[in-house]
Structure 1
């Protein structure tokens, strides 16, 4: 058993050293996610601005820590990814040229990727503009196996620093660049694929409908999460309003209804309308308009490629880069991964007040879904 500097802090939760978590489940993980974009309302915004996403995950029972950075710019999908053997010190958040540093817990974090490892490098600081808020516990059991048991918090903020894509370096000014970040941990499928066994015959259990949206308005954010089965049964469903002023309480907005309009020939949303309905009938409506898609399933470890999955053993250390063209992505493979959209939002409250915002609209409908007429995995919206 090996000690680390973290063991000198009074933060233990079980009678083990910090490096050992409270379950032997191979799928336990602990992860950071960040996104960064120029404000859609900025006078400097152009069609070629990058839509940047970064993630780092620790997998204690697999002995791996890995990370990725993915940029959508124009028709380019640019990825740099890294993996290494996990050591004893959980405060060591470096993977080769990548690094995450917590400068001030729940307030400021620093992420970086040294130049020379692909077409992307960055040196960025995230500064919160609102309090972090816990989301509902995510729990799902398929047959007898717990497949999801996770906790997550989310937070909006501004960015500063530099981001380089190919030969272009963007000076990231907090007046113009924003985004959100989250931290999640618990049990979810990671690493090398496990034999599906009986679950392979359970088609309904393998359907996955997902909406995860973080909308930033002038004085508040709205966080929405929906997961449901093919017939609409809810596994998760929540909508909260988070005030930028930490003295104000987070507000539950109501039950979430959704109405998605799809781009013909696929499952990508052209637009979406979300309604948050309280028992009194009071309804808040948000019209969502996706602006730019980042197909995070390609090259980053979310499961499309069998040779690089989150938590998969890649050796003592490995860093690699790849570049794809959005226009050349396999149309069928796009049906099997979540997509992170930079989106604009128009919120109409129950009293008719209108607010305009922007942020993340993450969406996926994998497999059958009755509401939208998808009877099989490869069904698409009609032309």
Structure 2
């Protein structure tokens, strides 16, 4: 079956592009964004994903401000056109590839709508491939690209309007594709060990004249099996960004050290430091101060109703609303968070997010069970 994308010289297999190279049910192709101000007054996240082997496309917008979180969700049967980036009232527009993107949510019954423009301030860069498996098959095999930028526009919610000013906003575009657990859990075959441990941290930051990213996956004993570290120059105007590569960028190879202090009874950082290390001896120590917490279930992660790739019907639109201080911090669906942070490195001050997902035992910080909180 042909699509508009087949008119471009981008084929990787003899099949039309609508047919994936892998028949794995967990194949996915996701757009993901975040945005926040520098004072931690608001945070929003955006996600849209197509699951070609499930025939589903879903999306979300999640906003935290004034101690509350609200989330718009929509899901539908995928169209036969992969370039169709709409789900009901939700529309993602790629105005320029690796450049400006626009997100629009038209009027709908949830009361959540928006018109937002993302403008990049750095080149895009590719993280290291992330691959894990269980006793029988691949669990995750994904590529991710990231690009820093800023936002402008407005979000309407709960009868209010939040204006997003490009002069005070920070943001990130995150594109990933490959294989990750999506849809309903697979229960076929002989039972596998249900024990799953996940320890992930990710720290993208905007500084005065550059952006940095440090990310890592670790096992329960603290062994770091994956890390990403990059330093990128920033540009005030998109026309100044030097295409797809930048001679001023640095991709470090080494371990990311971390020393975190957690909020008692939770798995959320209340302060800490992370140190980027290059194998050639360079290092960069960054302290972080969390300002605002966003629960990733607002974007479908571990969401019991709106989880990624779940069949909701031909088209379904809905919304959720939470008060942050009423959420159980140790419930499975609430473990995965991004915290808006103020960062310091020497005399420089930065702004960004610290993403954390700590599930299962974790020796470095004394977690012994799956959902126990930090004991001071």
Aligned to 1:163: 155
| CA contact 1:78–1:119 (8 Å) conserved in 2 | no
1:108 pairs with one of 78, 93, 100: 100
Once the two structures are TM-superposed, the CA of residue 281 in structure 1 deviates from its matched residue by 4.3
Q: What does 1:1-383 align with in structure 2 at a 5 Å threshold? A: 2-40=1-39, 49-195=41-187, 198-200=191-193, 203=195, 206-244=196-234, 246=242, 247-253=246-252, 254-279=254-279, 281-297=281-297, 299-305=298-304, 307-333=305-331, 337-348=335-346, 354-383=347-376
Contact (CA 8 Å) 1:267, 1:335: kept in 2 or not?
no
Alpha-carbon distance between aligned partners in 2 of 1:336 and 1:296, rounded to the nearest angstrom? 8
1:249 deviates by 3.4
Please state how far the C-alpha of 1:334 moved relative to its aligned partner.
5.2
**1:257 to 1:6, Cα distance in 2 relative to 1, 3 A:** same
Unpaired runs of 5+ residues, structure 2, are 236-241
1:32–1:183 CA contact under 8 A, matched in 2: yes
Could you tell me how far apart the structure 2 residues matched to 1:309 and 1:335 are? 10
Gaps of 5+ in 1: 41-46, 349-353
Matched residue, 2:238 = none
Aligned equivalents of 1:280 and 1:26: distance in 2?
A: 41
The structural deviation recorded for 1:336 is 5.7
Contact 1:214 1:361 in 2 (8 A): yes
Equivalent residues of 1:125, 1:160 under 8 A apart:
yes
Query: What is the CA-CA distance between 1:50 and the residue it aligns to?
Result: 2.6
Q: Which moved more, 1:95-104 or 1:267-276?
A: 267-276
CA contact under 8 A between 1:259 and 1:274: conserved in structure 2?
yes
Question: Alpha-carbon deviation of 1:280?
Answer: 5.2
SS at match of 1:61: coil
Distance apart, 1:198 and its partner CA: 4.5
Query: Cα 1:104–1:115, aligned 2, differ >3 Å: closer, same or farther?
Result: same
CA separation in 2, counterparts of 1:212 and 1:225? 4
Distance 2:181 2:131 in 1: 13
Deviation by residue 1:4-27 (Cα, 9 ceiling, x = unmatched): 222112111111111111000000
Give the RMSD, CA atoms, in angstroms.
Answer: 1.8
Superimposed CA distance per residue, residues 214-258 of structure 1 (whole angstroms, 9 cap, x where no aligned partner): 101121111111001101222211211112254433213442111
CA deviation string 1:281-301 (max 9, x = no partner): 44310001111010112x532
Q: Give secondary structure in 2 for the equivalent of 1:200.
A: coil
Contact 1:231/1:370 (CA < 8 Å) preserved in 2?
yes
Aligned equivalents of 1:235 and 1:382: distance in 2?
26
Q: How far apart are the structure 2 equivalents of 1:335 and 1:103?
A: 34
Query: Any idea what SS the aligned residue of 1:175 has?
Result: helix
Distance 2:15 2:359 in 1: 39
**Could you tell me how far 1:108 is from its partner in structure 2?**
0.4
Size of the aligned set, in residue pairs, is 365
Contact persistence 1:29–1:57 (CA under 8 A): yes
